[in-house]
């Protein structure tokens, strides 16, 4: 299944994990990615730890667990390929402002682009 079709048709919970240049890991809750194509995705990040880590270490892992019973979902192994701070573009892509006005956000936002280096199921079931 194509990534765009998958993420448009699924609801669930996602986590983006990054590490600093020394390898100290951070994980944060993230919405579904903006799918550019099957080899490129993007996430909107605030000017916080995840973004700081990506400035010094371009690698990240995104875990997505689908709503419902079981452990259906995906793991995306990512490498940062670029970013923009174009607020008009970012505001146009935002799915939610978490119950408040989007203008209330205090952090600068970035749209960070990633190449998808590998895609795996959330849980590998041996048969």
What is the per-residue pLDDT for 13? 96
pLDDT, tens digit, for every residue of 22-47? 999 999 999 999 999 989 999 999 99
- Indicate the Cα dihedral angle 44, 99, 31, 111, nearest 10°: -10
pTM recorded for the entire structure: 0.87
Q: What residue ranges do the domains of the chain occupy?
A: 3-121
pLDDT, tens digit, for every residue of 47-78? 999 999 999 999 999 999 999 998 999 999 99
Kindly report the number of other CB atoms within 10 A of residue 28's CB atom: 16
Assign a CATH topology to domain 3-121.
Pnp Oxidase; Chain A (2.30.110)
What is the per-residue pLDDT for 93? 85
Residue 107 or residue 87, greater confidence: 87
What average pLDDT does the structure give for the chain? 90
Among candidates 61, 65, 64, which has minimal Cα distance to 116?
61
């Amino acid at each position: 299944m194509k990534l765009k079709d998958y993420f448009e048709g699924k609801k669930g919970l996602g986590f983006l994990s990054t590490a600093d240049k020394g390898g100290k890991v951070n994980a944060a809750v993230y919405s579904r990615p903006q799918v550019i194509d099957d080899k490129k995705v993007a996430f909107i990040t605030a000017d916080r730890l995840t973004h700081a880590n990506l400035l010094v270490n371009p690698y990240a892992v995104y875990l997505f667990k689908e709503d419902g019973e079981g452990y259906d979902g995906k793991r995306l192994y990512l490498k940062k390929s670029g970013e923009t701070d174009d607020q008009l573009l970012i505001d146009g892509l935002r799915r939610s402002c978490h119950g408040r006005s989007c203008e209330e956000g205090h952090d600068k936002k970035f749209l960070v682009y990633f190449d998808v280096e590998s895609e795996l199921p959330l849980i590998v079931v041996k048969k």
